[in-house]
Amino acid sequence: MQFPPSAPSQRANPLHGLTLETIVTALSTHFGWPALAERIPLRCFTHDPSVASSLKFLRRTPWAREKVEGLYLFMLREIRREREDASEAPPS
């Protein structure tokens, strides 16, 4: 009996295991709603924004969810770069 090939590992996927709620909460905390709406001009971010209304919209709108996930990955890279720069800076 042959078994199907196993699914590719998700370890390399930085979004694996994260809920959309976690992503939206992190973005709104990091950027704030006004700056988030500037980066991704969606009504759920511009008019009476909340995590709940954003989740409702993003779960039904794949293209918007992709933009939000992309911004989340950008935010992670930005944070990582800032930490690396801080660790490389000479002590004052």
Asked if the structure places residue 82 within a domain, the reply is yes
Asked if the structure places residue 13 within a domain, the reply is no
Report which DSSP code applies to 39: H
CATH code for position 26: 1.10.720.30
The predicted-structure confidence for 26-44, as pLDDT tens digits, reads as follows: 999 999 999 999 999 999 9
Least confident window among 2-6, 48-52, 73-77, 81-85: 2-6
The predicted-structure confidence for 53-73, as pLDDT tens digits, reads as follows: 999 999 999 999 999 999 999
In contact, 45 and 61? CB cutoff 8 Å = no
Asked if the structure places residue 9 within a domain, the reply is no
The reported pLDDT for the residue numbered 14 is: 84
Domain range for 56 is 20-87
Structural domains counted in the chain = 1
Asked if the structure places residue 71 within a domain, the reply is yes
Full-model pTM: 0.80
Residue of 76, 64, 63 whose CA lies nearest to 31 = 76
